[in-house]
Structure 1
Amino acid sequence: MRITFLSGLWALASSIWADVTCNVIGFPDILNGTYAVEINEKLYPLTTSKASFPLWSAKIPGITAPSSYRYVQLNHKNNVVAREKFLRHLTNKPATLNEFFNRQDTILTVPSIKQVYSDVRPKNSKPIDSSQIATIHITADPAQFTDMMYNPMDLESKAVKAGFKFINADTVYSADEVKIKVSGHASRKFDDDMGQTFFGRQAIKLRAEFTEPTMMREKLYLDLLNSIGVASYQGSYLCVYVDGKPYGFYLMVEDIDEDLLMHTIHHDTIRDKVSLRSLHQMGSSGIATMQYKGPLTANYNPRMYENKILGDNPENEPMQQFIAFMKDLRDWDPNATGGVAFWNARLGLKGFLRLMALEYLAASWDNYWYRGHNYFMYFNPQRKIWQFIPTDFDHTFTIGNHLDVETTYREFAHISLANSTEDRPLVTKLIYKNKEINKEFETILRTITEEVFNTKALDARINFYEIQIEQDVAWDFSIDRSKLPGREYGRTKCGQPN
């Protein structure tokens, strides 16, 4: 009898009427458009404000759970002009997630990838969430923003100040004033210049992936870096709107700066930026192979060997410590014994070998092994070694017309060197010429191939991303950018240039 009585109470509780707050992210595509939620065929208006837009909300009284609902768009006469074609389902929670109008799934279960080596990802990655697509809304002076967009290569132009709002399923972050500027060749960069940080990050980058029609290569490469224990930035997808208008679909990634070093490299064991040491960036517009060219900073192209953090270097010689590393690389005899011990004392060797194995496997033809650029070198004061930090992965898994991935790793180097005037000494001297390091590299290569770099391990994740982003990629391709400067690839349905 006691069990029956409790079951009766549970049945009664499940049908109690309660207030439910419904939340939808929406950008009306008609003048004075608004949103409402339709529950059991009854409409309830949603409201927003200058402070909360584009999030529309309302507390709906006396709703039983479970109930079916969907969002609708209304015109200025409160007539329905657009209705979601699918039904959502209320639970017994007091509020819905922050859902996006016409996107059926707010959060999806991401298929797992095996953790082959120790996980080095930071614990503090709240805005980076592969299970959902977030939204950024930017409000800026139209004239200033337009000027920035029409002059993307103007290196003297100042960053545009703008309002910034980030919304995902359970988070709303707002900043009244941030700086937005063109960064690199195809991305936008956000800097918080008001003394606050975006979940512990002073800057983020929005990568347009304009050379990559699937928009999955870089994200999958980041997943693989995580799987094999190589530290780099994290990233997840989002849609961007500017002043309420569609702007584009991006991969939001962390910037490689002091914040990333503290969170990702040092895992918050260093909290004072002054304690960070030398950081150098090797860009994407030339070659920075780490060949020793002399003892002075002036011997090296500052555009390709850019000092980002001075560290222990004198101000007039910002590359002094890194030059000493390159000299050790030049002077080291790869035929000598003890190669692993020698480089373990100077370099995060295991992480570097894992990274090079992945660069080869994924035909990463725009990074160190193949092109000699797109990486950072950081001197870790806790480990007292240099760490190789990779960046920019939109040109991974080939770009559709490269067959390098079908060859051996030794031939891969021959192909890359045939297209260059400079050697890659960290590859040729360590991986090719030193038998001890080569043996460790081949073990790593075999392990990665068997454990994670195969269709059995990756197909589910690839299929997941295809389904997750299909609607938003189509939305991105529908945006008219014909009047903006830039390169047009003219993609066909299969992603190849016409």
Structure 2
Amino acid sequence: MKAYIILLFSITMLASGCRKDDIVVVDTEGIDYSDWSESTHGSSVSPDYSIVFNQNKVQRFDIVISSDNYTIMQNDLDENIGSSGGGPGGGFGVDATSSDYDPVWVPCSFNYEGIEWYNVGIRYKGNSSLTSAYQSGNNKLSLKLDFDQFEEAMPDYPNQRFYGFKQLNLNNNFDDASLMREKVGADLFREFGLASAQTSFCVVYVDFGDGPQYFGVYTIVEEVDDTVLESQFSDDSGNLYKPDGDAASFAQGTFDEGEMEVKTNEELANYADVQSLYDIINSSERTINPDTWKTSLESIFDVDTFIKWMAANTTMQNWDTYGIMTHNYYLYNNPSNHKLTWIPWDNNEALQEGKQGGALSLSLNEVNDNWPLLRYIKDIEEYDALYNLYLQQFIDEVFIPSKMVSTYENYYEMLHDYAYAEEEGYTFLRYASEFDEALYELQSHVQTRNNNVESYLSK
């Protein structure tokens, strides 16, 4: 008899809206593990960036999910973010923009270049992008992969990895007709000396019972608490937080440990470091004794890195970012200097003028004390001068029009055929040539922003 593991949903999952009779089935017998090798599946090898984040090709990933488990995924979405207003669901539940909702994990078979990875955990991911896409009937949803999420089902093959990576994100390029912004934004931050996830392009096919369905062009994004810390910091043992909600603003009266999601050292976390940053940034010492305040702030927060991010972020423009939205960054307590370091995240809404009121201005004059990290740091003359210096450095050394035009054209050629092949119900493109138009918008944008920075600095 074929064996399997049935995972019953916990009370926590039930509280999030999953139905009581939903189960996740994980195969434990009858799988041919002949594809397993230490170099491809093992945990003893270093992450192979040249394969997973190949910059010169569009990877193809084939995913197989049983029809029963796919139904569980869809029911979970329907009951948690379904809408009575014509979306795929009909129920009311928690808002997916809230960190209270974690989509259900199910196992899948993951296939790449003729090699299979077994019982890989897969779930949907995203906040407003997930809600918006699902409720509009768009099936091109972002995915998270965990290659040993169900390792208990494979006791003889523990700690499965994908060329050294435990987790990967497949981001759906929501609301981005160019399909490039997620990648380009992350690369620009990293080129400017900031910690930022590696990225590359892929196309995704999912078989959930009726054969492979083309899900379209995705961006592979490295998981911060998996390999970013290990590869971009000298010590990856520090506390990592992903703030989400009012507390992510660090405004007076907003601190909440529950909104400071701990991604590492969960059992030891006491939130003392982020609490200190909150206390210092809002301290009356800022106006009474600015020099003392600066010393205290610099003892807990990597101010220089944050100002570099300010300069790059405001130059590129990004409406879904700190100063407008209370999410999309990490804070890492770097053991090498014991300072909380800013790590940007989620760039699909970058590199455009913005919406919902627009992106942050170069002057940041519109930013008030609801965003104290921006407002109070920009108000210090010394920090403002450094901000201006980094603005000039960013356009001189990184965000160079001729270089960016070439980059955009290169990615356009890589993605063109795959973008045009996207299918109705699995695309954010309203019409095929919108992909071409987006290229011209990006090319025009970089020149405009360089001109704007030069104009701002000349005043």
TM-score range, shorter chain: 0.5 to 0.7
2:217 to 234, 246, 249: 249
Contact 2:251/2:282 (8 A) holds in 1: yes
The structural deviation recorded for 1:371 is 2.2
Q: Post-superposition shift, 1:156?
A: 6.9
- How far the C-alpha of 1:257 sits from its partner, in A, is 1.3
Structure 2 vs 1, CA of residues 124 and 388 (structure 1 numbering), >3 Å: closer, same or farther? farther
Going from structure 1 to structure 2, the CA distance change for 1:403 and 1:397 (only over 3 Å counts) comes to: farther
| Matching of residue 377 in structure 1 with residue 337 in structure 2 | no
- Normalised to the residue count of structure 2, the TM-score between the two structures is 0.67
Contact 1:357 1:444 in 2 (8 A): yes
Is the 2:147–2:166 Cα contact (8 Å) retained in structure 1? yes
RMSD: 3.2
Q: Deviations over 1:101-140 (max 9, x none)?
A: xxxxxxxxxxxxxxxxxxxxx9852311221111111122
Secondary structure class of the residue paired with 2:323: helix
Q: Which residue of 2 aligns with 1:43?
A: none
Contact 2:318 2:353 in 1 (8 A): no
The one-letter amino acid of 2:377's match is L
CA distance in 2, matches of 1:372, 1:157: 21
Are 1:363 and 2:291 an aligned pair?
Answer: no
Provide the secondary structure at the position in 1 that maps to 2:290.
coil
* Alpha-carbon distance change, 145 to 226 in structure 1, aligned in 2, over 3 angstroms: same
2:215 equivalent to 1:260:
no
In 2, the alpha carbon distance for the partners of 1:174 and 1:265 equals: 32
1:234 and 1:130 map into 2 onto residues whose CA distance is: 10
Per-residue CA deviations over 1:367-409 (Å, capped at 9, x if unaligned) read 113323211111112221111111111110126657856x852
SS at match of 2:421: helix
CA-CA distance at 1:157 after TM superposition: 5.8
Contact 1:372 1:424 in 2 (8 A): no
Does 2:376 match 1:429?
yes
CA distance in 2: counterparts of 1:239 and 1:123, whole angstroms: 21
Alignment match, 2:68: 143
1:178 aligned residue:
120
In 2, Cα distance between equivalents of 1:473 and 1:265: 35
The 3 A distance-change label for structure 1 pair 146 and 249 is farther
Tell me how far 1:286 sits from its aligned partner: 5.5
Q: How does 1:403-418 map to 2 (within 5 A)?
A: 404=358, 408-410=361-363, 412-414=364-366, 417=368
State how 1:102-251 maps to structure 2 within 5 Å. Answer: 124-126=48-50, 127-149=52-74, 151-152=76-77, 154=80, 155=101, 158-167=104-113, 174-185=116-127, 186=130, 187-193=142-148, 194=151, 195-243=159-207, 244-251=212-219
Change (3 A) 1:325 1:366: same
Q: CA deviation at 1:301?
A: 6.6
Match of 1:37 in 2: none
1:257 is paired with a residue whose SS is helix
Deviation at 1:306, TM superposition (A): 1.7
More helix by share: 2
- Equivalent residue number for residue 308 of structure 1: 263
For residues 195 and 346 of structure 2, what CA distance do their matches in structure 1 show? 13
Q: Note the residue ranges of structure 2 that are not aligned, 5 or more in a row.
A: 1-31, 36-45, 81-100, 131-141, 152-158, 439-459
Deviation, structure 1 residue 475: 1.5
Distance 1:480 1:402, change over 3 A: closer
Shift of 1:362: 1.4
Matched position secondary structure for 1:196: coil
How big is the shift at 1:199?
Answer: 2.7
1:452 Cα deviation (Å)? 2.4
Tell me which residue corresponds to 1:290: 250
Q: Does 1:278 align with 2:225?
A: no
Mark the CA change 1:327 to 1:400 in structure 2 (over 3 Å): closer, same or farther: closer
Q: For 1:19-98, what aligned pairs fall within 5 Å after superposition? A: none
2:301 corresponds to which of 334, 347, 361: 347
CA contact (8 A) 2:317 2:353 kept: no
2:290 equivalent to 1:336:
yes
Q: Which amino acid aligns with 2:168?
A: I
Q: Tell me, yes or no, if the aligned pair for 2:171 and 2:221 is still in contact at 8 Å.
A: yes
Code of the residue aligned with 1:425 in structure 2: it is P
Q: Aligned AA for 1:409? A: L
The code of the aligned residue for 1:137 comes to D
Structure with the higher strand share, 1 or 2: 1
Tell me the TM-score normalised to structure 1 length.
0.62
Which one-letter code corresponds to 2:346 in the other structure? D
Distance 1:247 1:457 in 2: 31
Separation in 2, partners of 1:424, 1:300:
16
CA contact (8 A) 1:363 1:398 kept: yes
Question: In structure 1, how many angstroms separate the alpha carbons of the residues matched to 2:395 and 2:349?
Answer: 20
Contact 2:314–2:362 (8 Å) recurs in 1: yes
* Cα pair distance change 1:264/1:165, threshold 3 Å: farther
Closer, same or farther in 2 for the Cα pair 1:156/1:326, shift >3 Å?
A: closer
Partners of 1:129 and 1:183 lie apart in 2 by 23
Alpha-carbon contact 2:281-2:297 (below 8 Å) kept: no
Q: Contact 1:369/1:413 (CA < 8 Å) preserved in 2?
A: no
Counterpart Cα distance in 1 of 2:55 and 2:223:
18
Cα deviations across residues 68-115 of structure 1 (Å, max 9, x unaligned)?
xxxxxxxxxxxxxxxxxxxxxxxxxxxxxxxxxxxxxxxxxxxxxxxx
Q: What's the CA shift for 1:494?
A: 3.8
CA shift digits 1:328-352 (9 cap, x unpaired): 2112426623777654432222221
The superposition leaves residues 132-168 of structure 1 with CA deviations (integer Å, 9 ceiling, x where unpaired) of 111111122123214414643644763111111233x
Q: How far did 1:323 drift?
A: 0.5
Give me the whole-angstrom Cα distance separating, in 2, the residues matched to 1:212 and 1:286. Answer: 27
CA–CA distance in structure 1, aligned partners of residues 49 and 123 of structure 2: 23
Question: Looking at CA atoms only, which structure, 1 or 2, has the larger radius of gyration?
Answer: 1
Unmatched 5+ residue regions in structure 1? 1-49, 54-121, 271-275, 483-487
| Letter paired with 1:289 | S
* 2:392 corresponds to: 446
Query: How many correspondences in the alignment?
Result: 346
2:228 maps to amino acid: L
Given that 2:179 and 2:217 are in contact with CA atoms closer than 8 Å, whether structure 1 keeps it comes out as: no
Q: Distance in 2 between matches of 1:313 and 1:430?
A: 30
State the distance in 2 between where 1:402 and 1:385 align. 33
Alignment correspondent of 1:462:
408
Following the alignment from structure 2 to structure 1, what is the Cα–Cα distance between the partners of residues 307 and 262? Answer: 24
Within 1, Cα distance between the matches of 2:316 and 2:330? 20
